[in-house]
Chains A and B, each alone.
Chain A
Amino acid sequence: MGEEGARGVVHLLCLAASSGVPLFCRSSRGGVPTRQQLPFSVIGSLNGVHMFGQNLEVQLSSARTEDTTVVWKNFHDSITLIVVSSEESNLELRLERLLQMVFGAMVLLVGLEELTNIRNVERLKKELRASYHLIDSFLGDSELIGDLTQCVDCVVSPEGSLLQETLSGFAEATSTAFVSLVASGRVVAATEGWWRLGMPEAVLLPWLVGSLPPQTARDYPVYLPHGSPTVPHRLLTLMLLPGLELCLLCGPRPPLSQLDAQVLERWWQPLMEPLRACLALGPRALPTGLPLHADILGLLLLHLELRRCLFTVEPSGDKEPAPQHRRRLLRSFYTLVTSTHFPPEPGAPEEKVEDAIQQAQLPRACYLVSGPEEPGAGWRLVALHSGPRRLLLLVSPQSPTHGLWSLATHTLHALTPLL
């Protein structure tokens, strides 16, 4: 067990690979961004040991001490990212994905060209500051989970089809194929074009919109890390209601001025009530009418082919534990089952495919008790895998173990029409 004070600290370092010049350092403690940084000598040593290996053609990817995990990753021989984390049960999978998201965020806002062909380090440092909001939101305690699951966080609105219809009409009228409606970083509705966006941009774009301070509208140049890393597109965001934004990904047209309040009112004013209802859904992500067993404290439903997910830790009431704690439990459970029990998701090439024997004996479900060891005291965690769907549940300690399997099966069945 680590010393009090070092718990829950994450340091993220970004260096220019060739020179070892630090480009930025971001840190968080207990899920909150902090200004406390690693001393320069430590940064130098962490980079040095990685470089030393590289010179001998040894790829150092991760290391562990009693309470800390370090993961290194080099991108395009130009950028080195290092994460040092003392969070509990932080498996390498989580940190590797974190680094991929961070690099994706850097590409998104400054473009791959600037990152692979560094001409002026000082200018690059200045430009990278624009990505701090987004990067800090990965280090902090987010309500979203797409950074880890590499699936788009969604919210299911009871009037989804109405919203979808209007969205399609609006997209057609503005001649934009990529349009989505985003509530606090979660996608409520999107055009087919938007759903076809690759990874990581499909996760990064709504996440970016959710992490920025409020603006009535934006017209940002964005580079899509997968689809268009060197040629920028325009990301237009229009705040219909505080916390609810219409996002368009487009080329030179339409100009922002064309999407003024009159145009938006014509399309969206009639849907004011469903739109407000989306906001009210908030972190619950699921329609209120959906019957869920009262023992379920949190759930994560993934559709691995569509690459979308529903994540909520507030399906009902305000029982123990706190939402942050629930999110942490589900996050670490996800990391555990993904890196040890369940097969890697399709489209995640970085995961090593296990050998053929294990492939044949894939588990379909697993469960875990977290917390105190006395019977009936620890949080129950259940994971179920069925077709393209994967369901993870956090269940209250009172729930009998023998009922978990059927509880999970029933819940998955009830949720299937949603995703």
Chain B
Amino acid sequence: MARPPTPGSVVVPNWHESAEGKEYLGCILRKNRRRVFGLLERPVLPPPVAIDTVSYKIFVSGKSGVGKTALVAKLAGLEVPVVHHETTGIQTTMVFWPAKLQASNRVVMFRFEFWDCGESALKKFDHMLPACQEKADAFLFLFSFTDRASFEDLPGQLARVAGEAPGAVRMVIGSKFDQYMHTDVPERDLTAFRQAWELPLLRVKSVPGRRLADGRTLDGRAGLADIAHVLNGLAEQLWYQDQVAAGLLPSPPENTPG
């Protein structure tokens, strides 16, 4: 596994807030809501700006109750379930995200397919874990800031879930960061983890998204602003990984002086 690129070195970090970026984001929104895409659909841009789409499969892993389904719902701009229940089996969610590459100044449409599976279903049914791991381009490891055991479970998860996929991207996400008052995972533990594993680590808040004027529908643009750092982080890691795998970049160690 290549060392991760420095954040912001591959994908232009705040491009989605620029005028150009906002225009591109328009194709994944409809009337200020996030658009849900069926498998036969894709975002449509006006003809002169047709751009390439790259697809990636991402398996979301983590202890039961850390908020895997909630994270995916947030990334897709959907309602986060109010009451927690174990996800019945595997469910996948497609998320489109346009991002601008630093090197070529080119905009690429990322098509992320998130695979989410309930922990007890994983244990009960043998076919589920292999189905999720098969040809996964990235693994998102989730822990919750309010659940110490989920953090301590990470090394085990990393070995168990991504052990056989050395070429895949691995990222760690800490959920429920808004509840830092009750955190069970202090900063020094995170630092130690980061040093030991050298994996990109992101934090997400689990606060309800902003609503539109009707008070009910989720505000698509506000939702995107909340999770842009996760989608950009993923895009960056995946694009970089592809470049390394294709031999387009010098091998990672000498490329990252620190």
A241–B41 CB distance below 8 A: yes
Determine how close the nearest CB of chain B comes to the CB of A26; give it in whole angstroms: 11
Task: Indicate if the CB atoms of A130 and B86 lie closer than 8 Å.
Answer: yes
CB interface residues, A 195-231, toward B, < 8 Å = 213-221
- Smallest CB gap from B38: residue in A: A241
Q: Is A257 an interface residue (CB 8 A)?
A: yes
Closest chain A residue to B36, Cβ basis: A242
Looking at the complex, which one of A215, A219, A234, A240 makes contact with B40 (CB distance below 8 Å)? A240
CA distance A288 to B44 in the complex (A): 29
Known contacts A130-B85, A213-B79, A257-B131, A264 near B91 by CB under 8 Å = no
Which of A76-84, A265-273, A392-400, A401-409 faces chain B? Answer: A265-273
Q: How far is the CA of A218 from the CA of B88 in the complex (A)?
A: 9
Within 8 A of A (CB), among B64-120: 73, 78-79, 81, 83-94, 113, 120
Contact B93–A220 (Cβ < 8 Å): no
Q: Pick the contact of A218 from B41, B73, B91 — CB < 8 Å?
A: B91
* A385 on interface, CB distance cutoff 8 Å: no
Task: Point out the residue from A214, A220, A238, A264 that lies within 8 Å of B88, measured CB to CB.
Answer: A220
A220 touches B39 (CB 8 A): no
Residue of B nearest to A220 (CB): B89
- B106-154 contacts to A, CB under 8 A, are 113, 120-121, 124-125, 127-128, 131, 134-135
Chain B residues, CB < 8 A from A261 = 39-40, 55
Q: Given the complex, which residues of A lie within 8 Å of B92, measured CB to CB?
A: 215-218, 256
Within 8 A of B (CB), among A14-59: none
Query: Is B90 within 8 A of A256, CB to CB?
Result: yes
CA of A218 to CA of B118, assembled, Å: 12
Quick one: closest A residue to B41, CB to CB? Answer: A241
Interface check A286, CB cutoff 8 A: no
Q: B146-169 interface mask toward A, CB cutoff 8 Å, 1 = contact, 0 = none?
A: 000000000000000000000000
Q: Would you call B89 and A221 a contact (CB within 8 A)?
A: yes
Q: Which residues of B contact A127 (CB under 8 A)?
A: 86, 120
* A255 proximal to B (CB < 8 A): yes
CB within 8 Å of A: which B1-45 residues: 36-41
Q: How many of chain A's residues have a CB under 8 angstroms from any CB in B?
A: 34
Q: Inside 8 A of B73's CB, which chain A residues have their CB?
A: 213
Residue from B37, B79, B92, B94 whose CB has the most chain A CB atoms within 10 Å: B92
Check A129 for interface membership: any CB of B closer than 8 A: yes
Tell whether, in the assembled complex, residue A129 and residue B83 are in contact, meaning their CB atoms are under 8 Å apart.
yes
Residues A213 and B40 in contact, CB atoms below 8 Å apart: no
- Are B36's CB and A214's CB within 8 A? yes
User: Does A372 have its Cβ within 8 Å of any Cβ on chain B?
Assistant: no
The answer on a CB contact under 8 Å between A109 and B40 is no
Closest A residue, CB atoms, query B85: A129
Bound Cα distance A27, B135 (Å): 43
Q: Is A132 an interface residue (CB 8 A)?
A: yes
Q: How far is the CB of A106 from chain B (nearest CB, A)?
A: 13
In the complex, what residues of A have CB within 8 A of residue B127's CB? Answer: 252, 255
Instruction: Closest A residue to B135 by CB, please name it.
Output: A257
Indicate if A126 sits at the interface (CB-CB under 8 A).
yes
| Most A Cβ at <10 Å: residue of B84, B87, B127 | B127
Distance from B252 Cβ to chain A, minimum over Cβ atoms (Å): 29
Between B41, B90, B134, B135, the greatest number of chain A beta carbons within 10 A of the residue's beta carbon is seen for B90
A215 touching B41 in the complex, CB below 8 Å, given contacts A130-B85, A130-B86, A221-B121: no
**Proximity bits, B36-58, A CB within 8 Å = 1, else 0:** 11111100000000000001000
Which residue of B39, B55, B84, B128 is within 8 Å of A239 (Cβ)?
A: B39
**Which residues of A are found within 8 Å of B121, using beta-carbon distances?**
221
Closest to B118 in A: A130
Residues of chain B with a CB closer than 8 A to A238's CB: 39
Considering residues A132, A216, A218, which has the most beta carbons from chain B within 10 angstroms of its beta carbon? A216
A313 vs chain B, min Cβ distance (A): 24
Task: Given A214-B78, A257-B131, A264-B40, answer yes or no on A219-B86 (Cβ-Cβ < 8 Å).
Answer: no
User: Which A residues are in CB contact (< 8 Å) with B37?
Assistant: 216, 242
A244 within 8 A of B: yes
20 of the cross-chain contacts (CB-CB < 8 Å) are A126-B86, A127-B86, A130-B88, A132-B85, A213-B81, A214-B78, A215-B91, A215-B93, A216-B38, A216-B93, A217-B39, A217-B90, A218-B89, A239-B39, A240-B38, A242-B37, A242-B38, A255-B131, A261-B40, A275-B40
Which residues of B does A touch, CB under 8 Å? Answer: 36-41, 55, 73, 78-79, 81, 83-94, 113, 120-121, 124-125, 127-128, 131, 134-135
The 5 closest A-B pairs by CB, nearest first: A129-B85, A241-B38, A220-B89, A219-B90, A216-B94
Other than the known A213-B81, A264-B40, A265-B40, what 19 A-B pairs have Cβ atoms closer than 8 Å?
A109-B88, A129-B83, A213-B73, A213-B79, A215-B91, A215-B92, A215-B93, A216-B37, A216-B94, A219-B90, A219-B91, A220-B88, A220-B89, A221-B121, A221-B125, A242-B38, A257-B134, A264-B39, A272-B40
